[in-house]
Amino acid sequence: MASAEAIASAQEIASALKIARPKALATLIRLLGGLDPAEDALQEALARALEVWPQRGLPDNPSAWLIQTGRNKAIDQIRRRSLESAYCRAERQLASGGPPDLDLSADALRLHLRDDLLRLVFTCCHPSLSEDLQIALTLKTIAGLSVEEIARAFLLQPRAMEQRLVRAKRRLAEERVPYEVPDARALPGRLGTVLSVVYLIFNEGYKAHRAPELVRRDLCLEALRLARLLKRLYGGEPEVGGLLALILLQHSRRDARLDGAGDIVALDEQDRGLWDRQMIVEGQALVEQALRRKQPGPYQIQAAIAALHAGPETAAATDWAQIAELYGILERYQGGPVVRLNRAVAIAKAGDLAVGLAMLDDLSGQPEMQRYHHFHAARAALLAEAGDAPAALERYEAALGLAANPAEQAYLRRRIGALRKI
C-alpha cells in the first residue's frame, strides 16, 4: 500500500512512465518483432513498475528497466505457451541476445532508443495505410495519445477510431512490414507523412490538449530529437531542415510561455530575455540554408514565419506585413481554414483590422472553425481591439466552452474578467 514513506511518489512515477513509455515500446517492437506482442509486454512491465517503484524508488534508467522487464515477461510467456515452432524460434532468438545492457552510457542508450523510435515512426507511416491512419497510429504509439484524443482530432467517434487502429495494426502484421528506416527508393512514399507526425508530436507537447500542464516537454524533446535524426539521415531534403528549424524556433520560447504561477503569457507579452538564443540562431541558420535550395515547402515557410517572430527584440518591432505575406504563400502549399485564420490575424496586426475581422467572418461559416477554440479566441481578441467588448466577450465565452486544457481555460477566464471590468 502506498504511504508517505514510499520512496517514489505517485506523481514522480507517473511522470517517469510517461517519458519512458514510447522509448521502451519502440525498442520492444524491434526485439519482439511486432506491435501487438510489444504492447502486451509493455503493459506487463508497466504493471510491475507500479508495484515495485513506489517502494524501491525510480530506477536510474526507467526506459531500460521497462525494456528488460517487458522482454523477460515476453520470454516467460513464450516458454509457457510452447505451442508453435514460431514461438520456439522467437524464444531462442530472444534468449541468445541476453538482457539489455543497463550499464550502457547514458548517451549511447539515448541514441539507441532514439533510433528505435525513428524506425517505429517509419513503420507506422507505411504507404500501405492511408495517411490519416499512418498519422493516427503514430500518435497513439509514439505520443501515447488516447483513442478518444485521436478520434477528436479526426472528428470521429472513439469506437470508430479504435476499429481503424485495430485494422491498421493487423494490416502491418499481415504484410510483415519491416521495422526499419527505408532506403532512398522507398523514401518519397513515407517522408512527407513522417515529417507530419513528428511535427504533430511536437504540437501535442507544445500545447497539450488535456494534460494538466500546458507544455509536455517530454514530447517536445522527443520530436526535436527525431527531427535531428532525420536531418542527419536526409539532410539534402529542404523540408527536413525546415521542420527542424520550425521546432527549434518554437521551442526556443518554452521558458517564457508560462509565468511563475503556471499561467499562459501571450506571445507579445513574453519576456524575450528568457528565449533560448542558441536555438534561435540555429533555427535561423537552418531556414536560410533550406531556402537557398529554392525548393520551398510548408515547413520552410512556417519556419520563416517563426524566424520573423524570433528576430526582433520587442513585440512592437515584429514585421507583421511580411508574416501576412508568408501566410498567403503558405496557403498555396497547405490550404485550409487554420492557415487562413493565422493570415487574417497577421493582416489585422499589420494594421488592417477591418480586413482581418472580415476574413474571420468569412471563416465563421465553416463547421470545423466553430469547433476550434483558437478561432473564437482570435476573433475575440480582434473584436476587443476594435472596441466591441460585448461581441468579444461572447467569442471568449465560446472559446472557453471548447478549450480542454486547464491552462488555456484559465487564460480565457482572465481575458473575460479583464473585459468585464471595462
| Dihedral sign for Cα atoms in the order 369, 373, 377, 380 | positive
**pLDDT > 80? residue 295:** yes
Largest CA distance in the chain: 76
Looking at residues 367-395, what average pLDDT do you find?
93
Taking the C-alpha atoms of residue 156 and residue 167, their distance in angstroms, rounded to an integer, is 16
Pairwise pLDDT comparison (413 vs 21), residue with the higher score: 413
Q: Could you give the dihedral angle defined by the CA atoms of residues 142, 147, 153 and 159, in that order, rounded to the nearest 10 degrees? A: 150
Position 176 confidence tier, pLDDT thresholds 50, 70, 90? confident
Position 2 confidence tier, pLDDT thresholds 50, 70, 90? very low
Least trusted range by pLDDT, from 26-35, 174-183, 383-392: 174-183
Pairwise pLDDT comparison (189 vs 252), residue with the higher score: 252
pLDDT digits (tens, 9 = 90+) for 320-340: 999 999 999 999 998 889 999
Pairwise pLDDT comparison (110 vs 201), residue with the higher score: 201
Pairwise pLDDT comparison (218 vs 208), residue with the higher score: 218
**pLDDT > 80? residue 63:** yes
| Closest CA relative to residue 343, chosen from 357, 296, 312, 412 | 357
Least trusted range by pLDDT, from 195-204, 212-221, 291-300: 212-221
Give the pLDDT of residue 40: 84
Give the pLDDT of residue 285: 94
Pairwise pLDDT comparison (90 vs 24), residue with the higher score: 24
Give the pLDDT of residue 391: 95
Cell 487554420: give the residue. Answer: 338
How high is the mean pLDDT of the chain? 82
Give the pLDDT of residue 149: 72
Looking at residues 142-161, what average pLDDT do you find?
76
User: In this prediction, what percent of the chain has a pLDDT beyond 70?
Assistant: 84
Looking at residues 166-192, what average pLDDT do you find?
78
Distances (CA, A) of 292 to 215, 229, 256, 280, 328: 33, 22, 31, 18, 20
Report yes or no on whether pTM surpasses 0.75. Answer: no
pLDDT digits (tens, 9 = 90+) for 41-50: 888 888 888 8
Give the pLDDT of residue 76: 64
Exposure string for 250-262, b = 16+ CB within 10 A, e = fewer: bbbbbebbbeeee
**Residue 324 in grid coordinates:** 501576412
Helix axes of 85-97 and 62-81: crossing angle, nearest 10 degrees: 140
Least trusted range by pLDDT, from 71-85, 219-233, 270-284: 71-85
Give the pLDDT of residue 304: 96
Whether 125 contacts 197, CB under 8 Å: yes
pLDDT digits (tens, 9 = 90+) for 112-133: 444 677 777 877 788 888 888 8
- Residue 322 burial by CB count (10 A; 0-12/13-18/19+): exposed, middle or buried? middle
Give the pLDDT of residue 161: 87
Give the pLDDT of residue 405: 83
